[in-house]
């Protein structure tokens, strides 16, 4: 008798396919019901973002790889994300600390927070113009000087004002990343918290922790966000391995 669960190709499954059973191979399903809906998942993850910590000045940010920890099919997630960006509902930002870490913010949220932050400042007019003209038409993560001057007809001083207000960050001479104003503290807390949570997994016996147990643990002062936010982050960035066990998912440190 072959005790091992065999991988079965789709063509050999005679039974009626259950609705929403996305995984093609293997008998293990991941407990997610319904077809892949990235927007709903994004909204769920956004609730994990701590708004009070930043005094409501920052829009809710989710990292792109946090979605990978929930949905299995990364290619589908990527495709749906690019569709949402094409429609103008979602904005993606290069966060700067990792070449692959992208932050996602709903466009409406972003606009509201940026304008609220600009109340009473001299740069308000330029930022307004930027948000109205550039964001709806251009999906890029960065802009270079030619584009800003010729396509969008911004002057040099206006570009300086945009950098001062935090909407653009310097990438190198003559090109800028699109960015979220006042997001420096967010990045700092994220990296701090990520290191602390990873440390918690590493310090455990055998370098592994059950996911459910980690969620219950008390966090120290280094971890400013909700621990679930960090757990999605480290799973999605593949800093820990996810192993299915009979008592739930086990997170094991990947030591390289």
Partner 1 sequence: MLGFLTARQAGLDDPLRLRRAESTRRVLNLELNHDRDVDRIHSNGVNTIDIEVIEGRYMLSGGADGVIVVYDLENNSGKPQYTCKAVCTVGRSSRYVHRFSVETVQWYPHDTGMFVSSSFDKTMKVWDTETLKPAEVFQFEGNVYCHHMSPIARKHSLIAVGTKDQKVQLCDLKSGSRIQVLQGHRGEVLSVRWSPRYEHILATASTDSRVLVWDVRRASGSLFSLDQHNGDKSKASSEAVNTAHNGRVNGLCFTVDGLYLLTTGTDDRMRLWNSANGKNTLVNYGKVSNESRKGLKITVSHSCSPEFVFVPCGSSVAVYTLHTGELVTMLRGHYNNVDCCQFHPDYQELYSGGKDCNILAWVPIVRPPDVEEEGTAAKGGSQATVNPAFEDAWSSDED
- Of 6 and 19, nearer to partner 1 (C-beta) is 6
Handedness of CA 83, 88, 90, 96 (dihedral sign): positive
Backbone phi and psi for residue 251, each to the nearest 5 degrees, phi listed first: -105, 125
CA distances from 26 to 6, 29, 158, 230, 243 (A): 7, 8, 56, 28, 14
- Residues with Cβ < 8 Å from 14, sequence gap 6 or more? none
Minimum separation from the CB atom of position 167 to partner 1 (A): 15
Count residues near partner 1 (CB under 8 A).
Answer: 32
Beta strands in 56-164 (DSSP E): 62-63, 90-94, 102-106, 142-144
**Per-position x/- string for 87-126, each x denoting binding to partner 1 as judged by CB under 8 A, each - no binding:** -------x----x---------------------------
Residue among 89, 66, 93 at smallest CA distance from 77: 66
- Of 76 and 204, nearer to partner 1 (C-beta) is 76
With contacts defined by CB under 8 A, name the span among 71-79, 121-129, 161-169, 188-196 that binds partner 1: 71-79
Q: Which of 46, 53, 128, 142 is close enough to bind partner 1 by CB under 8 A?
A: 142
User: Which residues lie near partner 1 (CB under 8 A)?
Assistant: 2, 4, 6-9, 11-12, 24-26, 68, 72-79, 94, 99, 140-144, 171-172, 175, 238, 256
């Amino acid at each position: 008798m072959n005790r091992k669960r065999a991988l079965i190709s789709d063509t050999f499954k005679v039974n009626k396919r259950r609705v929403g059973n996305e995984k093609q191979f293997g008998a293990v399903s991941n407990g997610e019901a319904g077809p892949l809906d990235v927007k709903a998942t994004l909204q769920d993850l956004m609730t994990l973002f701590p708004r009070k910590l930043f005094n409501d000045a920052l829009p809710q940010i989710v990292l792109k790889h946090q979605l990978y920890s929930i949905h299995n099919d990364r290619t589908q997630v990527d495709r749906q994300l690019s569709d949402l960006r094409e429609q103008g509902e979602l904005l993606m930002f290069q966060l700067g600390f990792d070449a692959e870490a992208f932050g996602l913010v709903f466009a409406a949220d972003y606009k509201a927070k940026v304008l609220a932050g600009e109340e009473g400042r001299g740069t308000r007019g330029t930022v307004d113009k930027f948000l109205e003209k550039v964001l709806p038409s251009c999906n890029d993560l960065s802009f270079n000087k030619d584009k800003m001057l010729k396509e969008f007809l911004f002057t040099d001083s206006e570009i300086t004002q945009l950098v001062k207000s935090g909407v653009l960050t310097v990438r190198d001479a003559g090109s800028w990343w699109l960015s979220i104003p006042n997001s420096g503290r967010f990045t700092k807390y994220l990296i701090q918290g990520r290191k602390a949570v990873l440390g918690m997994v590493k310090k455990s016996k055998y370098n592994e922790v059950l996911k459910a147990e980690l969620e219950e643990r008390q966090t120290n002062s280094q971890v400013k966000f909700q621990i679930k936010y960090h757990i999605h982050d480290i799973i999605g960035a593949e800093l820990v391995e996810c192993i299915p066990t009979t008592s739930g998912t086990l997170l094991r440190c990947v030591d390289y």
